[in-house]
Amino acid sequence: MDARRVYSLPLDRASGIIYDQRVMLNGFYSPENSPDHLRRIRFNDPATGKTLVFLTNNTALPALTIAALYKSRWQVELFFKWIKQHLRI
């Protein structure tokens, strides 16, 4: 992804959030298609040890809440994938 950091927000690294940044997409059509800043959150999941990066336009919720929402959403996506593969819907 071609993006540049506009600014970083202060955070508590003990929560698992590595960074919480506002970014602007680079590219020829990017300013026209996405004129607002996006939010890039990097999260270290203590359960799996994986580092996850989330991109969102939600600036109101705390970074830890957004990471939890995306993690929960991934479980829903895996469930629907399983349904499609096994139930032939």
- Tens digits of per-residue pLDDT, 56-71? 999 899 999 998 898 8
- Tally of residues, the chain: 89
Torsion sign across C-alpha atoms 45, 63, 12, 40: positive
List residues bridging with 21 in a β-sheet: 8, 40
How far apart CA 37 and CA 31 sit, in angstroms, is: 10
pLDDT higher than 70, residue 54: yes
Q: How many CB atoms lie within 10 A of CB 18?
A: 15
The CA angle 21-39-7, to the nearest 5 degrees, is 30
pLDDT higher than 70, residue 89: no
